[in-house]
Amino acid sequence: MQILKHLVITLGILAISGLAHLAHAEPLTPRQVERFIAGMPELIALGEKHDDDTLRDIDPARPLSSSLEQMSKDSPAYVELAELASRHGFASAEQLSDVGDRSIQAYLFAKSGVSAQNAQAGYLQGVANINKDPALDAARKEMILTRMESTHKLNMEALKASEKDIPAVQPHMAALDKLLD
């Protein structure tokens, strides 16, 4: 049961972090987060307006950016999103999407309380539990440990990328709670 618990924790952190591609040079500012929050009601309405029930391959770590990447730049949805971005002080729909994705990811990490230290400790405990489980043969252990190592690496990269954005998000946690919970 302990093994399952650690796997669930590891997979849960992966769901929060997704791919750790967000190694940004500049941290978010509280003003950027504020502008994103101010535009969220319009962003949600725009998404509902243009929802055609088509299943899309949306990256959970980058829901806005990966959705935007699937839009044609001359589509009505993209044009309206670019206008929304401009109204809220963003240079482009891409910038709005990036700030939104980073704000959401930083919010999720801040809310979870996951730190690099406790993520590492949880990972090491999970590895120890897998290694000492007599019900697992060597091949199964190796498979699980390989997946855990890969997931842990992605988690740590995502956490590191989000750490610099968390200070900009923290003053807005209550507003984000209302919008994202």
Q: So what's the pLDDT on residue 25?
A: 66
Q: So what's the pLDDT on residue 97?
A: 95
74 part of a folded domain? yes
38 part of a folded domain? yes
Q: So what's the pLDDT on residue 3?
A: 40
Query: In angstroms, what is the C-alpha Rg of the chain?
Result: 19
The enclosing H or E element of 144 equals helix 138-163
Q: Domain count of the chain?
A: 1
How many Å apart are CA 84 and CA 49, to the nearest integer?
14
Residue 124 CB coordination number (10 Å):
12
How many Å apart are CA 36 and CA 89, to the nearest integer?
9
98 part of a folded domain? yes
23 part of a folded domain? no
Q: So what's the pLDDT on residue 150?
A: 93
What is each CA distance from 151 to 8, 15, 28, 181, in whole angstroms?
12, 10, 25, 25
8 part of a folded domain? yes
Which structural domain range is residue 139 located in?
Answer: 2-18+28-49+59-180
Q: So what's the pLDDT on residue 28?
A: 96
How many Å apart are CA 12 and CA 4, to the nearest integer?
12
Name residues of the chain where pLDDT drops below 50.
1-23
Residue 145 CB coordination number (10 Å):
15
What are the structure tokens assigned to 103, written together?
């704000």
70 part of a folded domain? yes
pTM: 0.76
Q: So what's the pLDDT on residue 19?
A: 39
What are the structure tokens assigned to 41, written together?
């009601």
pLDDT in tens, 26-73: 999 999 999 999 999 999 898 888 887 777 788 888 889 998 998 889
168 part of a folded domain? yes
Per-position b or e across 11-24, b if 16+ CB within 10 A of its CB: eebbebbbebebee
How many Å apart are CA 7 and CA 5, to the nearest integer?
5
Q: So what's the pLDDT on residue 10?
A: 41
75 part of a folded domain? yes
